[in-house]
Amino acid sequence: MNPRTLAMMDTLGRALLWAAVAVIGLTVIGATAIISSDSAVGFLDEDIQRQGRGILAIGAFAGGLTAAGVLAGLGALLRLRVAEHRGPRK
């Protein structure tokens, strides 16, 4: 494989790993925003709304962690394949 292509694939792998870090950060921010939201619907009891926001925040957090795991896994696999093609380091 072309060394330039390997370098670009390695950069893509690094970018995927950093994207996973960004997704985790945004997930924490989003879950915090959901749980601290004060928006209310007039016809539902406040306790039900509070529980619903908690469940929604947990779901958003779980989805974000899943997405970050997929990104990190793809980035790591890509970097391993690039290292495999480059051969052992001296």
Name the domain count of the chain.
1
Specify the pTM.
0.80
Q: Which domain holds residue 80?
A: 3-86
Query: Which is nearest to 74 in space by CA: 7, 5, 20?
Result: 20
State pLDDT tens for residues 22-73. 999 999 999 999 888 776 655 566 666 767 788 888 999 999 999 999 999 9
Concatenated DSSP letters for 23-36? HHHHHHHHHHHHHT
